[in-house]
Amino acid sequence: MKKHKPAICAVLASMLTLGACGGETVKRVEYINPYSEFYAVRYDTDTAAEITIDFSERDGSLVQNVKKIDAFAPTWDFLYGGSVNYATLDQLKYLQELKSESLRIDMAFGGGGIGNSDGVNNGIIRSDNSWRNLNQLIESLDGNGVLPYLCMLGIPRYAQADGGTNLSYPNMEVYRSFCSDVAAYFKEKDYRVIYETWNEPDLNSYSYWTSGMPTFIDTSIAQAVALKQGNPDAYVVEQGLCWPVTYCRDNVTSLDGTLWDYYMAETEKAGNHIDAFSWHYYGDSYGRIENCATEKENFSYYKEAVREAINRDNDKYDLYTMTQHCTEFSAAATGAGDLIQTGLIPNLYETIGYAVDSTDISRFSWASYIMESFALIDPYSWKKSPVFYVLWTYGRLPLSGVSVTAADGVEDTFGWRTGVDSRRAGAVIYNKTMNESYSVSSTYKQRAEDSRDVSVRLTGVPFDAESVKIYLIDN
């Protein structure tokens, strides 16, 4: 049997760093994994360049936007037998490599989540013992320079209505007190956290919210107000929707308007200021977020529906300081299969481009960091998937994109992302070709045995570079 050794897409990342003094343009060239069965990296000045990257010329057509990709992980990844899973906590260090600024995680109060405990369920809120598991996660994140993003999903037992559950309309007076106490407790602990009021209340009628959307909106607003009563400086993100298009565009007969209209009106009555509005997006089975089979699957379709609603009501409700967060974001649909196949890599880089271009969405949280079939890190082997390295390379790029000139036909074979600032210049170049004869499934093709050579010239570096590092990423 022939043994295949597929290479991951020839993701080649180069980074030049500023030297302490002038002199040669490049003083040191360092290759990280420069040779493999398929690829060799050579440094010379004689070959005619097929791709020329001029770091002195900014590309004004590109959005110059500080935006990294954050992460999301389901709550159960951090628990083992009711206690913290220390093996998983140890994997948080890789968030530094991705340059993620926050990690979103569900509390799942009243259920099996990391925010759940006997103390919380019995109303003992301002006690370290009640938050033992969560505090270990928060402190581990803080130690890695990552902001905890707490999705306040679930109602603790003592705040549930008679006959209710942790996913239905609560005893509102008690629930308000609970939310206020939570914010006050974390303020006293001097923990910096982001709060999100819920997770996908509109997914269906039984998964995360069972009492209907108008009552959810009432509950979400009450939570936001109470959190800010407990900590006036709290940053609260609201809604966490699965289907923002329906929410923003579809009329509800009983409300004589959309759910968005109801949300705006009730928010104004409550005197609540919305810090951020959140929703989720997953691409199709081919790892695409645009040019999907139908328009309604496209990321732009979701985004425009929310934009329309915000733009329409900006003046009426003073929404000019409200931002958007896409708190679950992935190029592949949930359950679409393993997001480990190298055939998806070009789509993943394109996905990052769409995210960066969306200047009114300030945070994207990749779903998911650990666990599930499309995770960045396998929960058992700790193997990192190709998408991890896509985000790894992107996370290292400086801010401003620069001019790239390519020979005819090169853009059909290669893609790139570039960046430069006052101390660093870098580029990511990836192979877009695919060997159709080698596939793992009908959906996911392995990018295998279809290597390509390319010569790249880096010019116009706006400083004397002390070194250049070339990272060749394969399997």
| Domain termination residue (choose one: 396, 413, 446) | 396
The model's pLDDT over 321-369, given as tens digits with 9 standing for 90+, comes to 999 999 999 887 765 455 556 667 788 888 898 998 898 999 999 988 9
365 in any annotated domain: yes
- End-to-end CA, the chain: 20
Tell me what the mean pLDDT of segment 110-128 comes to: 96
Mean pLDDT of the chain: 86
Q: What is the reported pLDDT for 24?
A: 42
Q: What is the reported pLDDT for 48?
A: 80
CA distances from 398 to 111, 417, 451 (A): 42, 10, 28
Q: How far is the C-alpha of 165 from the C-alpha of 156, rounded, in Å?
A: 9
Q: Are residues 307 and 173 in the same domain?
A: yes
94 in any annotated domain: yes
Q: What is the reported pLDDT for 44?
A: 64
5 in any annotated domain: no
Q: Is 312's pLDDT higher than 50?
A: yes
Q: Are residues 352 and 374 in the same domain?
A: yes
Tell me what the mean pLDDT of segment 200-210 comes to: 97
| Domain termination residue (choose one: 352, 378, 396) | 396
The model's pLDDT over 237-253, given as tens digits with 9 standing for 90+, comes to 999 999 999 999 999 99
For residue 438, the Cα-to-chain-centroid distance in whole angstroms is 30
Q: Are residues 122 and 20 in the same domain?
A: no
- Residue 209 pLDDT grade (very low, low, confident, very high; cuts 50, 70, 90): very high
Q: How far is the C-alpha of 361 from the C-alpha of 325, rounded, in Å?
A: 6
Q: Are residues 364 and 278 in the same domain?
A: yes
- Residue 79 pLDDT grade (very low, low, confident, very high; cuts 50, 70, 90): very high
The answer to whether the CB of 136 falls within 8 A of the CB of 90 is no
Q: What is the reported pLDDT for 444?
A: 47
Per the structure, the complete domain to which residue 416 belongs is given by 11-64+401-473
Tell me what the mean pLDDT of segment 72-88 comes to: 91
Residues in the chain: 475
**Cross-strand bridge partners of residue 277:** 238, 324
51-58, strands of its sheet edge to edge: 402-406, 51-58, 456-459
Q: What is the reported pLDDT for 454?
A: 85
Q: Are residues 209 and 174 in the same domain?
A: yes
Q: What is the reported pLDDT for 288?
A: 85
The answer to whether the CB of 53 falls within 8 A of the CB of 456 is yes
What's the total number of domains in the chain? Answer: 2
Q: How far is the C-alpha of 413 from the C-alpha of 114, rounded, in Å?
A: 46
Q: Is 5's pLDDT higher than 70?
A: no
Q: Of 10-24, 91-105, 209-223, which range is least confident?
A: 10-24
Q: Is 396's pLDDT higher than 60?
A: yes
Q: How far is the C-alpha of 82 from the C-alpha of 116, rounded, in Å?
A: 9
Q: In the chain, what is the greatest distance between 2 CA atoms, to the nearest angstrom?
A: 79
Tell me what the mean pLDDT of segment 149-169 comes to: 98
Q: How far is the C-alpha of 90 from the C-alpha of 95, rounded, in Å?
A: 11
- Residue 20 pLDDT grade (very low, low, confident, very high; cuts 50, 70, 90): very low
Q: How far is the C-alpha of 324 from the C-alpha of 302, rounded, in Å?
A: 12
Q: Is 134's pLDDT higher than 60?
A: yes
The answer to whether the CB of 474 falls within 8 A of the CB of 39 is yes
Q: Are residues 347 and 405 in the same domain?
A: no
**Cross-strand bridge partners of residue 40:** 35
| Amino acid residing at 141 | L
107 in any annotated domain: yes
Structural Rg of the chain based on CA atoms: 24
434 in any annotated domain: yes
Tell me what the mean pLDDT of segment 444-469 comes to: 74
33 in any annotated domain: yes
The answer to whether the CB of 181 falls within 8 A of the CB of 126 is yes
Q: Are residues 73 and 122 in the same domain?
A: yes
Q: Are residues 237 and 359 in the same domain?
A: yes
Tokens standing for 163?
Answer: 């006959």
Tell me what the mean pLDDT of segment 206-223 comes to: 98
Percentage of the chain with pLDDT > 70? 82
Q: Global pTM? A: 0.90
Tokens standing for 313?
Answer: 């009501």
Q: How far is the C-alpha of 382 from the C-alpha of 362, rounded, in Å?
A: 29
Q: Is 80's pLDDT higher than 50?
A: yes
Q: What is the reported pLDDT for 438?
A: 47
User: What is the 3-class SS of the chain, one letter each residue?
Assistant: CCCCCCCCCCEEEEEEEECCCCCCCECCEEEECCECCCCECCCCCCCCCCEEEEEEEECCCCCCCCCCEEEECCHHHHEECCEECHHHHHHHHHHHHHCCCEEEEECCECCCCCCCCHHHHCCCCCCHHHHHHHHHHHHHHHHCCCEEEEECCECCHHHECCCCCCCCCECHHHHHHHHHHHHHHHHHCCCCCEEECCCCCCCCCCCCCCCCHHHHHHHHHHHHHHHHHHCCCCEEEEEEECCHHHHHHCEEHHHCEEHHHHHHHHHHHHCCCCCEEEEEEECCCCCCCCCCCCHHHCHHHHHHHHHHHHHHHHHHHCCCCCEEEEEEEECCCCCCCCCCCHHHHHHHHHHHHHHHHCCCEEEEEEECCECCCCCCECCCCCCECHHHHHHHHHHHCCCECEEEEECCCHHHHEEEEEEECCCEEEEEEEECCCCCCCECCCCCECCCCCCCCCCEEEECCCCCEEEEEEEEECC
Q: Are residues 164 and 34 in the same domain?
A: no
Q: Is 17's pLDDT higher than 80?
A: no
| Domain termination residue (choose one: 396, 416, 451) | 396
2 in any annotated domain: no
Q: Is 83's pLDDT higher than 90?
A: yes
Q: 152: closest CA among 183, 127, 128?
A: 183
Q: Are residues 409 and 316 in the same domain?
A: no
Q: Are residues 51 and 197 in the same domain?
A: no
Q: Are residues 314 and 438 in the same domain?
A: no
**Cross-strand bridge partners of residue 51:** 406, 456
Q: How far is the C-alpha of 11 from the C-alpha of 388, rounded, in Å?
A: 12
- Residue 258 pLDDT grade (very low, low, confident, very high; cuts 50, 70, 90): very high
Q: Of 62-71, 177-186, 188-197, 330-339, which range is least confident?
A: 330-339
Q: How far is the C-alpha of 86 from the C-alpha of 18, rounded, in Å?
A: 38
3 in any annotated domain: no
- Return the exposure string of 356-395: e unless at least 16 CB atoms fall within 10 Å of the residue's CB, then b: bebeebebbbbbbbbbbebbbbbbeeeebbbbbbbbbbbe
Q: What is the CATH number of the domain that holds 280?
A: 3.20.20.80
| Amino acid residing at 392 | W
Tokens standing for 449?
Answer: 């045995």
